[in-house]
Amino acid sequence: MKIYTLESECILAIDLKTGWEFFSDPANLERITPPSLGFAITGQDGPMYPGAIITYRVRPFGRIPVRWVTEITHVQEPHYFVDEQRFGPYALWHHKHFFLETAEGLHCRDLIHYALPGGPLGPWVHSWLVRPRLKEIFDFRRKTLLEMFGGHD
């Protein structure tokens, strides 16, 4: 199984406390996800903690809805948390969210490791469909966050 990596970063004009309050609340995911994904939280375990389960409905590639279940596996408030897919469209999804207060503002970094189902077709599907779609999603996220909070890439 080939494991791919995607990374996204920006500096937001907010402090660490404000950033943590925003990013650690799963309800804010819909605000920073492209509307074309039809993203909706369908279940949530309350505040973020290791072991919390969050369920979503999303349309990553067209009109067909996909059920996505993630578990928050690591939390070090207010510096990082990790969500991992337990059920969904990927063979592997491991998403680290890092937050560092700097003189410029809040440095936000997403580091995602993921793998696709599909055997030998995986690399072709990745380059043709999955990688461009993920880039589009995280570009939208970064642009929206910069519009909401100010800052820069």
85: pLDDT confidence band, cut at 50, 70 and 90? very high
Residue 141 CB coordination number (10 Å):
19
Is 68 domain-assigned? yes
Is 104 domain-assigned? no
For 100-112, letters b (16+ CB in 10 Å) and e give ebeeebbbbebbb
Distance CA 115, CA 149 (A): 32
Radius of gyration of the chain from Cα atoms? 15
pTM: 0.93
Is 135 domain-assigned? yes
Q: What local confidence, expressed as pLDDT, does residue 109 receive? A: 98
What average pLDDT does range 142-152 have in this prediction? Answer: 97
Q: What local confidence, expressed as pLDDT, does residue 22 receive? A: 97
Q: What local confidence, expressed as pLDDT, does residue 13 receive? A: 98
Q: What local confidence, expressed as pLDDT, does residue 62 receive? A: 75
Q: Are 75 and 68 in contact (CB under 8 A)?
A: no
Number of domains present in the structure of the chain: 1
Is 105 domain-assigned? no
CATH number, domain of 83, equals: 3.30.530.20
The end-to-end CA distance of the chain, in Å, is 32
Assigned token pair, 90: 């990927």
3-state secondary structure of 22: helix
- pLDDT, tens only, 89-105: 999 999 999 999 999 99
Is 136 domain-assigned? yes
Distance CA 14, CA 124 (A): 40
Domain limits at 44?
4-95+110-152
Distance CA 55, CA 52 (A): 10
- pLDDT, tens only, 98-144: 999 999 999 999 999 999 987 887 788 899 999 999 999 999 999 99
- pLDDT, tens only, 15-51: 999 999 999 999 899 999 999 999 999 999 777 899 9
Q: What local confidence, expressed as pLDDT, does residue 76 receive? A: 97
In which region does residue 20 sit, left (phi positive, over 0), alpha (psi from -120 to 50) or beta (all else)? Answer: alpha
